[in-house]
Structure 1
Amino acid sequence: MDKILAASQHSRYLARLLAADADFATQLAERLATPWHAAAMQAMIDAATITDVASLQHVLRKLRQAVMAQMIVRDLAGLADVHEVMRMCTDLAEVTVRHALKFHTELLAQVHGKPMNADGTPMQLAVIGMGKLGGAELNVSSDIDLIYLYADEGETTGDKPLSYHQFFVLLAKKIGLAISEITADGFVFRVDTRLRPWGDAGPLAMSYGAFEDYLLVHGREWERYAWIKGRALSGSHLSELNAIVRPFVYRKYLDFNAFSAMRDLHAQIRREVVRHDRVDNIKLGPGGIREIEFITQVFQLIRGGQLSKLQNKSTRAVLPMLAVIGSLPPAAASELLEAYYFLRNLEHRLQYIDDAQTQKLPKLPEDQARIAASMDFVDYVQFLVELNKHRANVTRHFDQVFSVPQDDGATHPLSALWLGALSEVAAVERLENLGYDDAAGVYQRLQLTRRGTRYVQLPDKAKHRLDVLVPEIIALAATLPPRDATLSRMLDLLETVARRSAYLALLIEYPAPLRQLAKLCAASPWAAQYLSNNPMLLDELIDARVLYALPDLSVLRQSLHEQMLELDGDTERQMDAMRHFRQRVTLHLLAQDIAGVLPLEQLSDYLSDLAALILEEVIPLAWAGVQNRHYPYPKFAIIGYGKLGGREMGYASDLDVVFLYEDDAPDAAVHYARLAQRINTWLSSTTAAGMLYETDLRLRPDGASGLLVSNIEAFSDYQQHHAWTWEHQALTRARFVAGDKRVGELFEPIRCKILRQQRDREKLRDDISVMRQKMHDGHPNRSELFDIKHDAGGIVDVEFIVQYLILAYSATHCDLTGNIGNLALLKKAAELDLINTAQAESVRMAYRQFRQLQHVLRLQGVDAARVEYAQIAPHAEAVKALWMHIFAAK
């Protein structure tokens, strides 16, 4: 009773309820310890006698009084937190709306019959909760935003039939009156239906088909924002409705157009705030609840189409996610969440006073004292200090997210040059002063771009954005040699992505990605082309901390697995998502590589581990598509050969793989052949997102003419009795990379057994020499340059030397069978006195230098890695000397 009395000193509404009914306080005290839940609310309704509209209204309003009174007392007494209050308010709205729907549906059906679905089941009106009701974050004296939709058109079959449209419009009106009409008992919630299509001018209820047409033709940006929180409280065929709403709200590609749309909407609200003197409004005013919601929802609009976890309707749930995915700094997300809870608690206390839908700070001193006390402050002045701290934090973060970019191209010093307002002589002189080498050629390129069909045919909005970006790019490229090439690459990229103006919006909204993009384009034409082919990766350039963080394989594995689970049942989207995943991780590695913070050997490890991680995820996905599969997980392994096996993968390396299984089931061979085919399809099919990996399956037993998959026993027999020497050479770099670990464990002893066979070394030298000559013949070099990979003294020679040492000496030196890489194996061979230590070290240095050169040249877009012989002569000669020492020996 003390808690009830104390709460009534804060809430005149509660005091009125207590004064109106002598037993109310006793009833309230009896159930004060147990908060209301939806089940208890429904039980109270079910226990009452409801015979007509009046009794329905009476029961629903009495329920509200009981819930509101308990909520006020528990909250002010410290028995409830903000989460409980929002949950109770939401439960009350859902229970009362659903019961009003049920009651009036049955009442109307007695006269007009029921609307029916095509499958013969009764059609239920879809009541959509919007705003805080949709987000399950309703405040205590809020109105509820409702939209009414129904699945299909038709006619009821009662004595007085109505069209479905007439029936559901009538039903919607009756639900509204049941909830919002003011009676002697008050009301339940004020109902606002103005978020429906065409607002007050639109029909109160609409079919899914008409609603879809409306969104496609008339749907506006603010409606996308509103429908983020749209949640069906009831309805038939809701999956069909979700299929309509989801693509309208969440775009397939990153949607940075949302910034300007949300900025415009906020500007309108700010104008209304000033016009109506609402600066003290903690919802709509500066630093208020609405700004926190805007920050949250703009990132949901931008990224929600790709990250389904951002499609959550709760502001408090999404804010921490934004820190996890890197859209907000963790400190910013924490401050915004803290401010959100403070403001929501304050909002509730403002509304407790008179049960009024207000978010304005009080003017009366006694009400100011009530607020200060209920918020646990000594006085109103101290309360305002804390409030202003939170509002200042919100405003600061809002301004950082929605800061207005330079969107007037005419203000940039180089705009006149780009737009052709300077004479050619003046423009060339300006470009020379900026440091461009071929200023005349650069000027011609700019003019060709501006007069080209790609630019001329752009929509005005995209053209304007290019006019903003190009002058900035001219200035940026001038600081990053090779200046001319950097500008050309960036212009190529812009022309490629210009028709998707959202990417242009990203580069305008965020200066950081533009600078990162310029650095990548300056460093590598291959990187520039990679981004042109995958423009959605521009988003990854926003946060340098994330971009340059070393990959955590366990986190990446979990992230990919969660994505695949979210898209379960939609193979096409899973394949696209997996390709985007690989592209994102690759870009991060590429940026770190170009910045010089990731050594080549470590980069190759990461790229090899990434491929293995993806293969591990592909196996169960492909297996799920094998009909009549006889195990939940296949007894199947993927063996990596070549660069994958040797952990030396590059950005564009293909996958040399062999598929093995160990399974005695009668249909095993058929099932695993289908699995292997499906895995190959998953990897090598070209989708809208590109190709995952090219695959090479020719290293399997009997090559291209052999079975796609082999059981362990057959593989072992083939390797022992039928394989060629070159196949044993390939086996030196083979390893288990994905699948059933037990099968992988069976493979390794077979591999070691084959490598450790006693061999005729002279015959082995002859076989390897013959194979080496075939490779020479297959890669003729008619230039005067040295081919780093294929020419004598190059990479292939080093690999063949190592393979010879393994096959020739593993019978007596088992350590040589370890898959530890060519550099470590050369060192091991020297330690075993199989080759001279000095020679081994020289060849190790050569191999490392060759791989580095090859890598650098490929980043420069060179297909065949060739250099002047003088540049690498000492290294090539060292390799040749060791080759002659081994293969010329008799």
Structure 2
Amino acid sequence: MNTESLPPEFANGTAWFGTPVRALQPMDAAKAQEELTTLTELAEEKGLSRLRSVLTGSGDLTTFLGTAASLSSYMRDGMQMFPETLEALFDTPLETYLNSLFDQIAAAALAEGVVEASIMKVLRRLKREAHFLIGLGNLAGTDAETTVHRLSKLADACVRSAVNFLLLDAHRQGKLKLPDPANPGPGSGWIVLAMGKLGASELNYSSDIDLIVLVDPTAPAIPEPYEAVETFVRLTRRLIRVLQDRTEDGYVFRTDLRLRPDPGSTPLALPINAALHYYESRGQNWERAAMIKARSVAGDIAAGEAFLRELQPYVWRKYLDYAAIADVHSIKRQIHAHKGHGEVAVLGHNVKLGRGGIREIEFFVQTQQLIAGGRFPELRDRETVTNLRRLSARGWITPDAERDLVESYWFLRDVENVIQMVADEQTHILPSDKEGLRRIALLLGFPGEDAFAERLRTTLRTVEQHYAALFEAAPQLSRHLGNLVFTGDVDDPDTLETLHGLGFQRVSDICRVIRGWHFGRYKATQSAEARERLTELTPALLEAFGQTQRADEALMRFDEFLSGLPAGIQLFSLLQSNPRLLRMLVMIMGAAPRLAGIITKRPHVFDGLLDPALLSELPSREYLAQRLADFLGGARLLEETLDRLRIFAAEQRFLIGIRLLAGSIDGPRAGRAFSDLADLTIQSALNAVQQEFERIHGRVTGGRVAILGMGKLGSRELTAGSDVDLILLYDYDPQAEQSDGEKPLAPSQYYGRLTQRLIAAVSAPTAEGVLYELDLRLRPSGNKGPVATHIESFRKYQNTEAWTWEHMALTRARTIAGDEGLCAEVEEDVKSILGSERSAEKIKHDAAEMRQLVLNEKPPRNAWDLKLVPGGLMDLEFIAQIAVLLGQVDGPRHTGTHDILQHLSGTFADPQIVVELTDAHRLYTEIDQVVRLCLTGPLDPKDIPPELADTLLGRFDLPEFDVLEAHLQETSERVRAHFDRLIGT
């Protein structure tokens, strides 16, 4: 039988999906055919004749299935896991089949003899089947609106089933007395509200779900009201476990309860009266915005709806609430700051939080709702697109804005879903390589990555323009500046009032500073033309700095920057004609004292910001290597080369930091870029030093050098302020007695002096500063031994004398420079040393003892001391290093902590622990990279620059700093528990 013998609606997919399947092109036709062959064998084995007929045919459905399987590992696994489901689609169309799965999910909670383990298993299997089918339908051409509604319906069903099971279980144990066990929710007192995307029925493919859990202690099912909170907190913990713990069957949904009132100090389940009191007395405007999408989804649904009705006056106010909009807007300041920063990078772009992304459309709608929803109830709908249409109907936005934003929204939601569909990963970031981008383009039905990139850029620009127009038109952003007079020696009273209105506090000091500019006290303002340009620029400068939360500090940093400039006319002209640069400069002065200090001391690094492609070019190794080669091109003398290396490294570190601050790259990618920069510049320094050294001392026969990067350099996790840990290894012909130059040296002396020269070349201060601070203490024998180590001595020491901590350090070792042949040998040596047999008990004991010693001798300063805090980065690094030493990491050798944690073997850590460890590392890395970029010292949460706080919140899409702190605390406690379990105390 083949597809010709089946009706056309089966061959083209209409019978399955309701419409003919979308034509997808494979990246590799042979791979697609290989997937079809595998599926065909499976269909034959299971006697699925109609599926086999399609798979061996040549119709559109055949091509679609092979292509989808070859482009998405998650779809491929789904097809192989559920071939019977595909066969069933010949009898039952997708929509009907999905509804039957939702019914089965609901029934699972009420089944006879169900226990927690069995409900977890059933929910995971049914969710996986439905999830696969929804994704397959999306790839086949089902529109994004239908897809997000199906995903939301699936999540609703799973949450409701889990809640019903737990209520019945509590009823069976006598903890509750349900009015109707056949319908557990009503009267139970357990209220589960869906927030965010789930609340709006707009869930994305691999989304977590945001919930708020409340308790009505007066509900009929609760025998003892005083025990109600404790009972439901325990049930809520179990609910989280049932839904999100990873087992051999996967997980249901990752669950987030951080949107509840005051999450750092309130229980997981909060009494409704306490919640109402909180919202009415202390509720923030961001919480009002969040409540727009709140929906009662499980448990006592009617009680949840009553609670939301009671909150209506809090959420929807009768007047035009522009002040509240300004407050809500402050939580998304990082989006507004992105506006107009040149071309958008497609590679690595975040389609949710990035410029022109989904969040801007959602925020556009929510602000209009908060302004108008109090007087117009029809604008209170939870769904984004419904509200766009209603806003247009009422004249709040133009028909063009409605059309553009609706079209853009569903296109971006499609892109977001497909990104996540490739491997079921909770990410909104497009791949940073062209092959990965091509995969996304093909899954969306584009002929290739160029056509997709062009459509995406157009969409992002469209969204950005509408979003920018909204806030430029908003009253709180349209200021009449008033008087700005800075002549004479006496402050003008009207000017002081204007400055105060702009956001400055120390207005007299600001007047004094600006008078200093106009009196030509700095080199940059000594020429009449420069002062004239600065006078024209001053109102824009003051308005821009006034919009930062610490306007005085930001402007004072700018003044310090100005004082060090050798000339100003070019900069003032550029800032005047290029608002993008002005906004970037203000962002640096407001959020990043460290970066502000860099451009104050080295104003030339600011030149790099003039590149219009800065934020659209990823700082890949190839990009940096090409830039470095061009920059070193004309250098001849050693001193000139070393100075150029310092200039280049300083500028590129600054530009990598700007990309990180602006959101063009994330923390892990910044770590790789900083490390690539170190690799390349240290290799160049070694080459230059060797060349000069050989001119005087000649060469040693068979002599070779390799540099081993250790610590954060080895793991490719350098930050903006990291020093670098190195070990220099050498080898030579055993017969060689000395070098062959004018001033010959014995081999050990030769390589010792060469290493000293390299240390000076890299770390000695010159007029251009230092290249890197070096740390060589990780070499054999530490500071007591020679600075250069013969390869045989290294092998012998590591195999016979090294301590546990030295082998732990070696897990991050990576050759970064030197002779290719020796580098390859060293890599093999390291692999062999790490693969040696060890006592698990001794290794774990040594590591736990060492960690406790660090805690005793160097306790963390506060919860934001991410390296030292219990459950912080050091604990994660120790877990990864011990796993490597015990051979508990799958696949090839990795040196990065995140990569190691991601590949922990199942015998060492179960899937749920792996997810929690890697999520924690991603969280810490993002915070650590941004904080070390912006601050010169530790982060004090009581004195954090507000713009930096906004930047961090934007990274995690969290509304308030307290929520981020609570999330950090929960994460560190979870990691510490895993450390104790895996390593021991």
The normalised TM-score by structure 2 is: 0.44
Higher relative contact order (CA 8 A, sep 6+): 2
TM-score (norm 1): 0.49
Q: Which has the larger radius of gyration?
A: 1
